[in-house]
Chains A and B, each alone.
Chain A
Amino acid sequence: MEITSQDFKAVSSAKLKDEKLQKALFQAKDGFVVSRAKVIKDLDNFEDIRQAASEVRDHCLAHLDEYLEAWEVRAQASGTVVHWAESYEELNAIVVKIAQNNQVKKIIKSKSMVGEETGLNEYVEGHGIEVKETDLGEYIIQQAGEYPSHIIAPATHKSKEDVSELFAKKHQRPRLNDAEKLTHEAREILRPHFLDADMGITGANFMIAETGSTVIVTNEGNGRMTTTMPRVHVAISSIEKCIPTLDDFALMMRLLPRSATGQVISNYVSMTTGPKREADLDGPGEFHVVILDVGRTRVLGSELRDALRCIRCGACMNHCPVYQNVGGHAYGWVYPGPIGSVLTPAYNGIENAIDLPNAATLCNQCGVVCPVKIPLPDLMRKLREKQYEKNLKSKTERWSLKVFAYVAIRPQLYSIVTRVMARAGKILGGNSGQIKRMIFVGQDWTKHRDLPTPRGRTFRDVYLNKKKTSKR
């Protein structure tokens, strides 16, 4: 997918003015945050589980090479064909080759963010193969010609009214206004595609080394149908999703649905280990897994390594005050919100997403809800340090910082400068006690709010003077 994170500032400002989007975001926020809080409260040892999960993920990353090899050996033993891809083009080409080798005309697809990274749909369609997204959210945005704004709820930026209008237009049927009826209509339209598709593509939330399986965690039956109905199944994933054992998977599952949607468990947990065996009643004749490493190995060896613990629950974005107000599209790539503000520059180069690590208040709401304890604000700060080192900060910011530093390390000068500021500020504010308009950097403050005035004297002057007087 093409990256447009450079436009964050302009796009986010536009999104703030988009009333329809604001309404949709407001509803989504309430749903995610409230449901998660409720279900986490019922766990009496959430912090212990979180700690254990983050340790397991760290362990996986420390021994990733071993676990991936172990996974591959077991996967191959059950008949899975394993492919490794070191670029987006390579992954796309492998998938098309599999399709061509099997004379595939139509593909049904369940949700995959790795597929969004590689731009898989466009590539496959460019080779004359039809791709149908079958996750309801993904189906909606495919119909609308958009891309996901959230990693688990891809169409969360759309209102029910948007979907009504879209379906009426695309399906050429009378407009429906009821969410359930709209879902039924999508299901009706999708059903024949499930039946005559030649190939199914899914993502994989995890790859379990102990069994050589891939797992998908979903709430709609489409995932189960995509993995079992077509004659060929291709799962696409990325190297950091490998975990050692089924027990570890059980641990992750205590956290993933709870953190994501506030569910104790998702409606479906589908595990795939090899293609259809002789005694099996259904399943694909061929099962391929394509594993991507674009950026992952590099991040593994960097200060941003902790970000690879991510299990893609979306809690960080759901709880982020910035995401909550601007939505996912403003971030300009596949992964939005706090984790996106780390992964986007980490995978695409920090010069291509300058705003993202800075467009955060560092409130750490993301850090405290993350089920695997990724210190997201710390990682964003590390990216800011990299920007500073590479001279990627704006002139205004560098200049302001220099002046600030020059004054702050010289106490005498500092006391004079602050004394002047306190006096001048008070005069500027006049009787209202508020400064309404400032210049230079200050205008970006007063554009939106007043600045309460200083009180004319600094604490230092008042206190030291008081002490002197009382001694006399």
Chain B
Amino acid sequence: MRVGLFVTCLADVMRPSIGLAAVDLLERAGCQVIFPENQTCCGQPAYNAGDRLTAQELARKVVSEFADVDYVVIPSGSCGGMIKAHYEDLFSDLPKYKAKAQWLSARTYELTDFLVNVVHMNSFETSFQGTITYHDSCAGLRELNIKQQPRQLLRTLPNVELREMPGAEQCCGFGGTFSVKYGDISSRIVDLKCDDLEGTEADAVVLGDLGCMLNIEGKLRRRGNHKTKVLHIAEVLTGRNGEEAE
């Protein structure tokens, strides 16, 4: 099975271990991982800023780069949501691309969804142990129905206790450019998220999206919390701590 990895621009630049973890997981599941080297961005920043033409240009690029794989897997609900929930609208005035986008969208999976529902993976090699609280990212949850998948995967880990926080489904306040354009509001929202997750006294907050990750980790550290780990679920499932760049 040829699986295209769309690593996402944020993981590419900020945290390569997420991409490495995704490759590990896919290979362990028996997939042949294809990494189109020219991939950059799914177009969401432009799309959400109202710059439809740039978004279309980037989306066309994604559509053509992943034209010859069986599946596309993305370690992000946000970029996955962009392809699965929004490409069709983005190409509504370009019928030729609309059909291609539909084709791509049907083959695109968020990583945990793919592991649970396509390759049915249920055992992992990881050294991680401790308590985990899971933050549901907005696009994953409300555009792709990612809710049980990550929890199901985490429950297979013998040394992990899952401890839900109140408001796990509440937005972290990132919202792309919202986080800088409306910094005061964004900061308040992520403060409330930090209150909630610190309340669980979990060792790590685990999530599936880079935007939330940078926002939550950045806020925790600024608040002086250097203890709570902030990890992507792929890192947890492969025993990575997020520092790996080799």
Residues on B with beta carbons closer than 8 Å to the beta carbon of A322: 182, 185, 189
Contact in complex: B16, A463 (CB < 8 Å): yes
Which residue in chain B gives the minimum CB-CB distance to A451? B218
Which residue in chain B gives the minimum CB-CB distance to A326? B185
Interface residues of B in 135-152 (CB under 8 A from A): 138-139, 142-143
The interface bits of chain B over 175-199 (1 if a CB of A lies within 8 angstroms of the residue's CB, else 0) are 1111111111111111010000000
Q: How far is the CA of A325 from the CA of B13 in the complex (A)?
A: 32
Interface residues of B in 1-37 (CB under 8 A from A): 7, 9, 11-20, 23, 35, 37
Residues on B with beta carbons closer than 8 Å to the beta carbon of A408: 9, 40-41, 58
Q: How far is the CA of A285 from the CA of B245 in the complex (A)?
A: 81
Q: For the complex, is B80 an interface residue (Cβ under 8 Å from A)? A: no
Given A409-B57, A459-B20, A460-B12, do A441 and B180 touch, yes or no (CB 8 Å)? yes
Q: For the complex, is A270 an interface residue (Cβ under 8 Å from B)? A: no
Given A363-B171, A411-B37, do A434 and B142 touch, yes or no (CB 8 Å)? no
Residues on B with beta carbons closer than 8 Å to the beta carbon of A422: 13-14
Stretch of A92-100, A193-201, A338-346, A381-389 that contacts chain B: A381-389
Q: How far is the CA of A442 from the CA of B214 in the complex (A)?
A: 13
Contact in complex: B50, A387 (CB < 8 Å): yes
Residues on A with beta carbons closer than 8 Å to the beta carbon of B171: 321, 361, 363, 365
CB-contact partner of A462 in B20, B49, B181, B215, under 8 A: B20
Q: For the complex, is A360 an interface residue (Cβ under 8 Å from B)? A: yes
Residue with the highest number of chain A CB atoms closer than 10 Å, among B14, B177, B217: B14
Interface residues of A in 421-472 (CB under 8 A from B): 421-422, 425, 432, 434, 441-442, 444-445, 447-452, 454-460, 462-464
Which residue in chain B gives the minimum CB-CB distance to A364? B142
Which applies to chain B's interface (DSSP): helix, strand, loop or mixed?
Answer: helix
Residues on B with beta carbons closer than 8 Å to the beta carbon of A448: 183-184, 186-187, 190, 219, 222
Count of chain A residues with a beta carbon within 8 Å of a chain B beta carbon:
63
Given A393-B49, A405-B57, A452-B218, do A445 and B189 touch, yes or no (CB 8 Å)? no
* 17 residue pairs from A and B, CB less than 8 Å apart: A322-B189, A359-B178, A359-B181, A359-B182, A360-B178, A361-B176, A361-B178, A363-B171, A364-B142, A411-B38, A411-B39, A421-B13, A425-B14, A459-B7, A460-B7, A462-B20, A463-B23
Q: For the complex, is A397 an interface residue (Cβ under 8 Å from B)? A: yes
CB-contact partner of B49 in A388, A441, A442, A447, under 8 A: A388
Residues on B with beta carbons closer than 8 Å to the beta carbon of A460: 7, 12, 37
Residues on B with beta carbons closer than 8 Å to the beta carbon of A456: 245
Contact in complex: A401, B142 (CB < 8 Å): no
Q: How far is the CA of A360 from the CA of B175 in the complex (A)?
A: 7
Which residue in chain B gives the minimum CB-CB distance to A330? B185
* Nearest CB of chain A from residue B85's CB, rounded to whole Å: 9
CB-contact partner of A455 in B16, B57, B138, B174, under 8 A: B16
Residues on B with beta carbons closer than 8 Å to the beta carbon of A298: none
Contact in complex: B49, A397 (CB < 8 Å): yes
Stretch of A8-16, A62-70, A171-179, A229-237 that contacts chain B: A8-16
Interface of B toward A, CB cutoff 8 Å: 7, 9, 11-20, 23, 35, 37-41, 45-52, 54, 57-58, 61, 89, 138-139, 142-143, 169-171, 173-190, 192, 213-215, 217-219, 221-222, 230, 243-246
Contact in complex: B13, A409 (CB < 8 Å): no
Which residue in chain A gives the minimum CB-CB distance to B44? A362
Given A363-B175, A401-B46, do A458 and B13 touch, yes or no (CB 8 Å)? yes
Interface residues of A in 252-283 (CB under 8 A from B): none
Residues on A with beta carbons closer than 8 Å to the beta carbon of B178: 358-362
Q: How far is the CA of A266 from the CA of B38 in the complex (A)?
A: 58
CB-contact partner of A405 in B11, B35, B46, under 8 A: B46
Residues on A with beta carbons closer than 8 Å to the beta carbon of B49: 384, 388, 393, 397, 401
Q: For the complex, is A299 an interface residue (Cβ under 8 Å from B)? A: no
Interface residues of A in 360-388 (CB under 8 A from B): 360-365, 367-368, 378, 381, 383-388
Q: A16-B184, A388-B50, A455-B243 are in contact. List 5 more A-B contacts (CB 8 A).
A: A13-B184, A362-B48, A364-B143, A454-B14, A459-B16
